[in-house]
Amino acid sequence: MSLFVALLARELRLSVRHGADTLAVLLFFALAAMLFPLAIGPAPETLGRLAPGIVWVCALLAALLPLDRVFGADHEDGSLDQLRLSGLAPPAIALGKALAHWLTTGLPLLLAASPLAVMLRLPSERLPVLLAGLLPGTLVLSLLGTLGAAIVLGARRGGVLLPLLVLPLAAPVLIFGTAASDAAAAGLSPRPHLLLLCAVLALALPLCPLAAGAALREAE
């Protein structure tokens, strides 16, 4: 357990060193979302209706950006071998990486989602539902992304392969997340959709690290 905490501390220390990575994710998130008012016009009612979907899609794409570094950097410089020989089980390494990815990518995206949604004219009473969906949603994206990163490890052009692998898996998250916002907009309870999102998280939390651990064992 203390070794797991040490792994997390190592990952966070490294990402503080490479703070520009997190900044790049946030800037991408903001810039991609800003394209929509330009493309579909600034009419508040249209934008406000599309806002949750825009935020979700942009968050999903932004979360993909740092994925090829999750294991890639450690793989290239030999650190991954040292991690695998540290006595931590491969699934625990994958879980630590996923948690670090969420803390440095998912959490900042979650914090940036509010101002962005307001900019997109989302009615303020619907903001809590959007954020309540993004919290489990970004966690699932980090877990799925870590799984994808472990699978493409050592593959040529892994960075191109990764989004193709992760995006289809992330579809349920997008569906339930936007369905919660739609339900709230129609005056229905968003609860079932949010619970389904939590169920996806409950499924991904054990399965993704286990599968990523198996992929790490196969990595050359």
Partner 1 sequence: MLEAQGLTVFRAERLVFRDVGFSVGPGGALVLSGPNGSGKSSLLRLLAGLLPPAAGRVLWEGADAFTDAGAHARRLAYVGHQDAVKPGLTATQNLRFAARATGGSVAAALEAMRLGPLADLPVRLLSAGQRRRLALARLAFSAAPLWLLDEPTIGLDASSVEAFGALLSAQRARGGVVVAATHLGLPLPDAAVLQLG
Eight-class DSSP state of 160: H
Tell me how crowded residue 27 is: count the other CB atoms within 10 A of its CB.
13
Spatial neighbors of 128 by CB under 8 A, at least 6 apart, are none
Min dist CB 10 to partner 1, Å, is 5
* Closer Cβ to partner 1, 14 or 167, answer by number: 14
Q: Contact residues for partner 1 (CB under 8 A)?
A: 2-3, 6-7, 9-10, 13-14, 17-18, 77-79, 81-82, 84-89, 220
Min dist CB 130 to partner 1, Å, is 35
At 120, give phi and psi (nearest 5°): -85, 15
Min dist CB 12 to partner 1, Å, is 12
* Closer Cβ to partner 1, 84 or 121, answer by number: 84
At 66, give phi and psi (nearest 5°): -85, 5
Residue that has been written with the tokens 């005056």 in this structure = 187
* Closer Cβ to partner 1, 18 or 49, answer by number: 18
Residue that has been written with the tokens 């950006």 in this structure = 65
Min dist CB 212 to partner 1, Å, is 16
* Closer Cβ to partner 1, 197 or 216, answer by number: 216
The most distant pair of C-alpha atoms in the chain lies apart, rounded to whole Å, by 57
* Closer Cβ to partner 1, 2 or 124, answer by number: 2
Min dist CB 149 to partner 1, Å, is 18
Q: Is 123:167 a contact under the CB 8 Å cutoff? A: no
Q: What is the DSSP string of 62-108?
A: HHHTTHHHHHHHHHHHTHHHHHHTTT--HHHHHHHHHHHHIIIIIHH
Min dist CB 208 to partner 1, Å, is 20
Amino acid at 24: A
* Closer Cβ to partner 1, 190 or 209, answer by number: 209
For 48, the 3-state DSSP assignment is: helix
